[in-house]
Amino acid sequence: MGNPSLVPTRAFPTARGFLLGVALGALLFLVGASVAHATTTAWVDTGGDCLNLRDAPGLGSGNILCLDHGDEVTLLGPQQRGDEGFNWVQVEFDGQTGWVADFYITTNPDDVQVLYEAPSAGGFVAPPEGGVTTGVAGTSDLAALVASQPFQVQSVWHWDVNAQRMVQYTPGAPAFVNSLTSIGADDVVMLKRTGVLGAVGVVPEPSLTVAGTPRLLPTPPIEGLTQGVSGTTDPRFLVQAQDFTVKSVWYFHVPSQRWLTYTPGLPDYVQSLKQGHLGTDSVVFAVRGPDAPKPPSSEDSTYFETSITYYYCVPGTDERTHGDGGGYCGGMANGENVHDGAAACKPGLLGQRFRIEGDPTGRTYECTDTGGSVLQDHRDVWFMNSDDGYAWWLEVGERAFIEILEPASE
């Protein structure tokens, strides 16, 4: 993988960070202002990725190791401006000395982004007394599920997708009153803690930490409810991946005891469930809407509408454009280095050439990169500078018509 500055820990295109436009309206930034080297201690602030500690300043130098988000390093003083737009600073970590791009470190520990981490499959976030939590059972033994929790469980609930009804198990109750009598280890359940619900937490601001590959949820009847593990931190990706029309996505935020919702097609400001609220192992619920006619796609047409975004190498001066920090300046899935006109598409489209209607550059693009989060006919276009990409994206729009072109002649 040719990522020069960050090594992604998520399933995205090999040359790309998060395709900023897929965030659609959520144009937050992950990193703080430029680092002031007045102190000797600094912290890695990448928004979740790891940061390459290099043996020399510059994207072409070798990697010593990868620093985790939040790691503490010591600034040694020397700085050097690189041709690629980064300021490189020498640091020491765990006895090893190297160089990092100072865009991804801060001398103020309060500036380090706090990432929301969902429990792994089978684990449950402890709810407040009287509250509810969700998770994957992890066992087919209901009694063992209850006994393994660090809090007293009043009841266990499971949504039967086939029957479209909620079934319940109450520990210690006679068997004949329990409608939930068996469970699968991979089944989603809700646990209610004993007690009276009192003070609860608040919903955190969504981060732009995007990870994972969306999972397919069991298909419910039309207007029915289904459930499962999201597999991705972006509800938009989750919706795009399903085999049925998604009317809405629901996520129960345990600390605040609130339902957060995402409704496809509505403006971002009305969505309470945003990119970064979910973890890759978060339990989600989805309502199926009426089946809509399948729109034209690359499978049956050379002209169709799809979502358009961008990714980039060097961060610009406008913090709104930064997304998860860029740094994608190296190799792509087809073995080439990133270049103008490159785009990330789903794997089966590698080599496809296309134009974007309304594109102010008039370029012909080629699908040269790919990744698990570029789904269906989505197109993610590469730019060297995030400011240029953002300005282009605002003009082209979040969705645009594209025209598939004939393969280039040899």
Give the pLDDT band of residue 231 (cuts 50, 70, 90): confident
Give the pLDDT band of residue 19 (cuts 50, 70, 90): very low
- Chain segment 301-330, per-residue pLDDT in tens: 899 988 888 889 999 998 878 766 778 888
CATH superfamily, domain at 303-405 = RlpA-like domain (2.40.40.10)
Q: Is the pLDDT reported for residue 111 higher than 80?
A: no
Q: Is the pLDDT reported for residue 391 higher than 90?
A: yes
Q: Is the pLDDT reported for residue 223 higher than 80?
A: yes
The two three-digit tokens of residue 322, written as one number? 């930064």
Please name the amino acid found at residue 34. Answer: S
**Buried b / exposed e across 107-119, counting CB within 10 Å, b at 16+?**
beeeebbebbebb
Task: Output the pLDDT for position 2.
Answer: 32
| Among candidate residues 260, 119, 275, the one with its CA nearest the CA of residue 202 | 260
Whole-number Å distance between alpha carbons of 24 and 307:
9
pLDDT greater at residue 103 or residue 65? 65
Task: Output the pLDDT for position 119.
Answer: 39
Q: Are 321 and 389 in contact (CB under 8 A)?
A: yes
Task: Output the pLDDT for position 320.
Answer: 78
Whole-number Å distance between alpha carbons of 278 and 294:
28
Rounded to the nearest 5 percent, the helix, strand and coil shares of the chain are 10, 30, 55
Whole-number Å distance between alpha carbons of 198 and 256:
11
Q: Are 288 and 221 in contact (CB under 8 A)?
A: yes
Query: In terms of DSSP bridges, do strands 342-344 and 365-369 run parallel, antiparallel, or are they unpaired?
Result: parallel
- 239: part of which helix (H) or strand (E)? helix 235-241
| Average confidence (pLDDT) over 171-182 | 92
Highest CATH level, class, for 31-111: mainly beta
- Chain segment 333-381, per-residue pLDDT in tens: 888 999 999 999 988 888 999 999 999 999 999 999 986 667 778 899 9
| Average confidence (pLDDT) over 38-48 | 74
Question: Please, is 77 exposed, middle or buried when counting C-beta atoms within 10 Å of its C-beta (0-12, 13-18, 19+)?
Answer: exposed
Give the pLDDT band of residue 48 (cuts 50, 70, 90): low
Weakest mean pLDDT among 29-38, 117-126, 140-149: 29-38
| Fold match between domain 31-111 and domain 303-405 | no
Task: Output the pLDDT for position 85.
Answer: 62
Task: Output the pLDDT for position 324.
Answer: 62
pLDDT greater at residue 91 or residue 293? 91
Whole-number Å distance between alpha carbons of 172 and 174:
7
| Mean pLDDT rounded to a whole number for the chain | 82
Task: Output the pLDDT for position 115.
Answer: 52
- Chain segment 233-243, per-residue pLDDT in tens: 889 888 878 88
Task: Output the pLDDT for position 92.
Answer: 92
Give the pLDDT band of residue 46 (cuts 50, 70, 90): confident
| Number of helices followed by number of strands (H, E) in the chain | 3, 22
The residue extents of the domains of the chain are 31-111, 132-193, 303-405
Weakest mean pLDDT among 50-54, 116-120, 177-181: 116-120
| Average confidence (pLDDT) over 394-399 | 87
Q: Is the pLDDT reported for residue 150 higher than 60?
A: yes
Give me the residue label for tokens 């500036």. 111
Whole-number Å distance between alpha carbons of 102 and 377:
36
The two three-digit tokens of residue 86, written as one number? 């980064």
Kindly state the DSSP code that residue 390 receives in the 8-state scheme: H
- Chain segment 252-280, per-residue pLDDT in tens: 999 999 999 999 888 888 999 987 789 88
Task: Output the pLDDT for position 168.
Answer: 96
